C-alpha cells in the first residue's frame, strides 16, 4: 500500500442459459473487482439483437431496493459484460473519461461488437491509422476501442470470430484480456499471446451460467466455481454445453504481470494453484531468509495494510518476531482519497492508515510493504514512525526494485517518476530516511509465485520487456532520460511523436 498505483481495468462477463436476467451476476462480479479501477464503471447486456448499456464515472454504485426494477429494465437480457476502469491510456478530462468508459461498442455494415477490456496496447498509432481508414470519423477514446473496431473490421470482411481474434493476437502488440459479445449474442473471451493480464472462467453450481472474470473473487461473490485461467493466445466461447477452448496463437514466452502478486490482486484471488495471500506470506518468509542481519536487530514487525499484511505473517512465522497489529486502515477512506491535489500527497497516507505510536516507541521495527515506486509515501511513513519514537526503521519490500516503466497497463509511465530507476538501494535508503531498505530478490519472488521465470513479465524490475516494441522504446527512452530529456505522458506516445518529428 506504499504508493497509490492504479491498474487499467477489471473485466467481468456472464451468460445464463435458463432465461435468467444476467444483471445481478455482472453487477456483483464487477463490485468484487472495484479495486482494479475506480474512475468509471459500465455494464452492457444483450437482448433480442440489441445492446443495452449503462456507463458512469466513479465506483460501482450501490443498487437501492427501490431502484431494482429500474436497473433490470435498463439492462435486460441473459448475456452481459461489465468493466471498471482506471485510465492509463487516452485523455483524462471528465468528458473524455465518460467517453472512454467501457464496455465499448462498434458497428459497421449491419454488424456490431461489444467488448470489455483490460490491458494496454503498445502499437496504437499503427492501429489507429488502419481503423481510421475503415471507419470514417473514428474517434479513439481508449485502447478498448481499438480492439473492438479491429475485431469488427475482420468480421465484416468475412472472417469468423476465431480468425478475427487470431488476427488481433497477431497484429496487436501489448496486453489484452477481453470479454465480448457479437451481434448474434455470442459470448466469448480471449487473452493476448503473452497472457499479461489475468482472466479466468467459471460456472454456477447448476451449470446454467458461465462467466469470465479478471480475478477469481468475481466468481466467488456469485457462488461460482472456478474452471480455469485462460491460456495466453486462447479464445474461449460459451454455449449451454459450457466452454469451448481454442488455442489460436502459441508463444513459448509467456508474460503474466508479476506485480499482480505483490500489489494489485486481491489476496483472496488466485491465478494458479495458490491464493495470492499464500504467495505474499511466502514473500515474507523469503525476506527473513534473505536478511538474517536485519531480523537479528529487530524487535517487532509492522505491516502497511493491506498488501503488507500477508507478508508480515510470513515474516512472523519465519523470524519468531511479534507482528504488532498496530497499523490499521481507516475503513471507509477509499482509493478515491488519492485523487486529490498533488500537494496533498504527503498527508493522504495519514488519512488512510492509523499507526499506534505507543506500540512503536523505542522499538526497532521491520515494516512490510509491497513496493516503492516514487518513494514519497515511503518517506512519509518512515518520518512518521521516527516521530512516534521508533528506534530503527527497516523496510522489507516484497516487490523487487522497480527500475523501469510499465507498457502493459500499470500506472508507471516514465523513468523520471521511479525512484528505483535513478537511485541504488543504498541511495533510496538515505532518501526515504530508513535504517535499511531490503527488497525481495527477483529469484525469491519468482519461486514464491510458482510460475516459471519465462512465464512472468518482470519488465519493470529487470528492464527486459517481453514484447519487442516495448523493449525498443524502453531502451530509447532510457537513453533520453539519462540525457536529461523531460518525460510526459506515455513513453511510447512520446517515442512516436519524436519519430514523427524525425528526432
Give the residue numbers marked as catalytic: 9
The stretch near ligand SF4 (CB under 6 A) out of 92-100, 102-110, 325-333, 453-461 is: 453-461
Note whether 419 binds ligand SF4 by CB under 6 A.
no
The rounded Cα 150 to chain-centroid distance in angstroms is: 23
Whichever of 29 and 459 has its CB closer to ligand SF4, that residue is: 459
Whichever of 264 and 338 has its CB closer to ligand SF4, that residue is: 264
**Strands 40-47 and 50-57, sheet pairing:** antiparallel
Q: Quick one: cell of 371? A: 513496493
Whichever of 24 and 233 has its CB closer to ligand SF4, that residue is: 233
Residue 480 backbone phi and psi in degrees, to 5: -65, -40
**Choice from 460, 474, 491, 494 touching ligand SF4 (CB under 6 A):** 460
Whichever of 202 and 459 has its CB closer to ligand SF4, that residue is: 459
Note whether 265 binds ligand SF4 by CB under 6 A.
no
Beta-bridged to residue 45, according to DSSP, are 52, 80
Total residues in contact with ligand SF4, by rule CB under 6 A: 11
**Choice from 258, 311, 365, 477 touching ligand SF4 (CB under 6 A):** 258
**Choice from 44, 211, 457, 473 touching ligand SF4 (CB under 6 A):** 457
Enumerate residues 279-338 that contact ligand SF4 by CB under 6 A. Answer: none
Q: Quick one: cell of 409? A: 497497463
DSSP 210: E
**Which residue number places its CB atom closest to ligand SF4?**
406
Q: What is the DSSP string of 243-256?
A: EEEEE----S---E
Residue 294 backbone phi and psi in degrees, to 5: -70, -45
- Residue 77 near residue 46, CB atoms below 8 Å: yes
The stretch near ligand SF4 (CB under 6 A) out of 165-173, 251-259, 306-314, 495-503 is: 251-259
- For residue 401, the number of C-alpha atoms closer than 13 Å in the C-beta half-sphere is 17
10 Å Cβ neighbour count for 284? 30
Whichever of 149 and 455 has its CB closer to ligand SF4, that residue is: 455
Note whether 80 binds ligand SF4 by CB under 6 A.
no
The stretch near ligand SF4 (CB under 6 A) out of 236-244, 252-260, 288-296, 372-380 is: 252-260
* Residue 250 CB, nearest approach to ligand SF4 (Å): 21
* Residue 260 CB, nearest approach to ligand SF4 (Å): 7
Note whether 199 binds ligand SF4 by CB under 6 A.
no
**Strands 364-369 and 456-457, sheet pairing:** unpaired
Residue 390 backbone phi and psi in degrees, to 5: -60, 135
Note whether 408 binds ligand SF4 by CB under 6 A.
yes
Note whether 406 binds ligand SF4 by CB under 6 A.
yes
The stretch near ligand SF4 (CB under 6 A) out of 180-188, 335-343, 404-412, 491-499 is: 404-412
- Residue 442 near residue 461, CB atoms below 8 Å: yes
**Coil/strand/helix, residue 111:** strand
**Choice from 9, 248, 459, 467 touching ligand SF4 (CB under 6 A):** 459
Q: How far is CA 358 from CA 69, 322, 355, 361, 368, in A?
A: 52, 15, 9, 6, 19
DSSP 270: B
Note whether 257 binds ligand SF4 by CB under 6 A.
yes
**Choice from 458, 473, 474, 494 touching ligand SF4 (CB under 6 A):** 458
**Choice from 16, 196, 209, 286 touching ligand SF4 (CB under 6 A):** 196
Q: Quick one: three-class SS letters along 371-396?
A: CCCCCHHHHHHHHHHHHCCCCEEEEE
* Residue 456 CB, nearest approach to ligand SF4 (Å): 7
**Interface mask (CB under 6 A) for ligand SF4, residues 355-394, using x and -?**
----------------------------------------
Task: For residue 286, count CB atoms less than 10 angstroms from its CB and return exposed for 0-12, middle for 13-18, buried for 19 or more.
Answer: buried
Whichever of 130 and 411 has its CB closer to ligand SF4, that residue is: 411
Q: At what angle do helices 345-352 and 376-387 cross, to 10 degrees?
A: 60
* Residue 84 CB, nearest approach to ligand SF4 (Å): 18
The stretch near ligand SF4 (CB under 6 A) out of 40-48, 69-77, 255-263, 327-335 is: 255-263
**174: left (phi > 0), else alpha (psi -120 to 50), else beta?**
left
Whichever of 112 and 401 has its CB closer to ligand SF4, that residue is: 401
Q: How far is CA 352 from CA 305, 328, 365, 382, in A?
A: 9, 8, 20, 15
Q: Footprint of ligand SF4 on this chain (CB under 6 A)?
A: 196, 257-259, 406, 408, 410, 457-460
Amino acid at each position: 500500500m506504499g504508493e497509490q498505483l492504479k491498474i487499467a481495468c477489471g473485466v467481468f462477463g456472464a451468460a445464463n442459459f435458463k432465461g435468467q436476467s444476467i444483471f445481478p451476476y455482472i453487477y456483483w462480479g464487477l463490485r468484487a473487482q472495484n479495486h482494479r479501477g475506480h474512475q468509471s464503471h459500465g455494464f452492457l447486456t444483450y437482448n433480442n439483437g440489441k445492446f443495452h448499456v449503462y456507463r458512469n464515472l466513479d465506483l460501482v454504485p450501490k443498487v437501492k431496493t427501490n431502484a431494482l426494477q429500474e436497473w433490470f429494465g435498463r439492462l435486460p437480457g441473459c448475456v452481459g459484460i461489465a468493466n471498471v476502469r482506471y485510465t492509463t491510456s487516452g485523455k483524462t478530462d471528465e468528458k473524455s473519461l465518460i467517453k472512454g468508459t467501457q464496455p465499448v461498442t462498434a458497428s459497421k455494415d449491419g454488424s456490431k461488437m461489444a467488448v470489455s477490456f483490460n490491458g494496454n496496447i503498445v502499437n496504437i498509432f499503427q492501429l489507429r491509422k488502419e481503423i481510421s481508414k475503415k471507419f470514417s470519423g473514428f474517434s479513439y477514446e481508449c485502447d478498448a476501442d481499438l480492439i473492438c473496431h479491429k475485431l469488427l473490421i475482420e468480421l465484416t470482411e468475412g472472417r469468423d470470430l476465431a480468425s478475427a481474434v487470431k488476427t488481433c493476437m497477431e497484429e496487436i502488440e501489448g496486453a489484452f484480456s477481453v470479454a465480448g459479445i457479437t451481434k448474434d449474442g455470442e459470448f466469448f473471451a480471449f487473452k493476448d499471446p503473452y497472457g499479461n493480464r489475468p482472466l479466468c472462467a467459471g460456472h454456477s453450481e447448476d451449470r446454467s451460467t458461465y462467466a469470465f472474470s479478471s480475478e477469481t473473487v468475481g466468481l466467488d461473490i456469485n457462488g461460482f466455481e472456478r474452471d480455469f485461467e485462460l491460456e495466453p493466445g486462447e479464445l474461449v466461447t460459451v454455449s449451454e454445453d459450457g466452454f469451448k477452448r481454442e488455442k489460436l496463437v502459441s508463444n513459448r514466452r509467456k508474460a503474466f504481470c508479476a506485480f499482480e502478486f505483490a500489489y494489485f490482486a486481491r489476496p483472496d484471488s488466485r491465478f494458479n494453484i495458490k491464493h495470492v495471500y499464500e504467495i505474499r506470506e511466502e514473500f515474507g518468509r523469503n525476506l527473513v531468509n534473505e536478511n538474517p542481519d536485519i531480523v537479528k536487530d529487530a524487535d517487532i514487525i509492522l505491516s502497511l495494510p493491506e498488501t503488507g499484511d500477508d507478508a508480515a505473517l510470513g515474516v512472523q512465522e519465519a523470524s519468531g518476531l511479534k507482528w504488532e497489529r498496530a497499523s490499521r486502515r481507516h475503513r471507509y477512506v477509499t482509493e478515491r482519497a488519492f485523487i486529490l491535489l498533488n500537494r496533498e500527497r504527503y498527508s493522504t497516507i495519514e488519512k488512510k492508515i492509523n499507526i499506534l505510536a505507543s506500540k512503536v516507541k523505542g522499538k526497532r521495527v521491520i515494516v512490510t510493504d509491497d513496493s516503492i515506486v516514487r518513494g514519497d509515501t515511503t518517506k512519509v511513513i518512515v518520518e512518521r514512525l521516527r516521530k512516534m519514537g521508533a528506534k530503527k526503521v527497516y523496510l522489507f519490500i516484497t516487490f523487487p526494485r522497480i527500475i523501469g516503466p510499465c507498457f502493459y497497463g500499470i500506472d508507471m509511465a516514465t523513468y523520471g517518476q521511479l525512484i528505483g530507476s535513478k537511485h541504488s538501494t543504498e541511495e533510496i535508503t538515505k532518501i526515504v530516511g530508513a535504517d535499511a531498505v531490503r527488497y525481495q530478490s527477483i529469484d525469491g519472488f519468482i519461486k514464491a509465485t510458482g510460475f516459471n521465470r519465462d512465464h512472468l513479465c518482470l519488465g519493470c524490475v529487470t528492464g527486459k520487456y517481453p514484447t519487442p516494441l516495448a523493449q525498443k522504446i524502453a531502451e530509447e527512452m532510457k537513453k533520453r532520460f539519462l540525457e536529461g530529456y523531460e518525460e510526459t505522458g506515455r513513453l511510447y506516445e512520446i517515442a512516436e511523436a519524436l519519430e514523427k518529428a524525425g528526432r
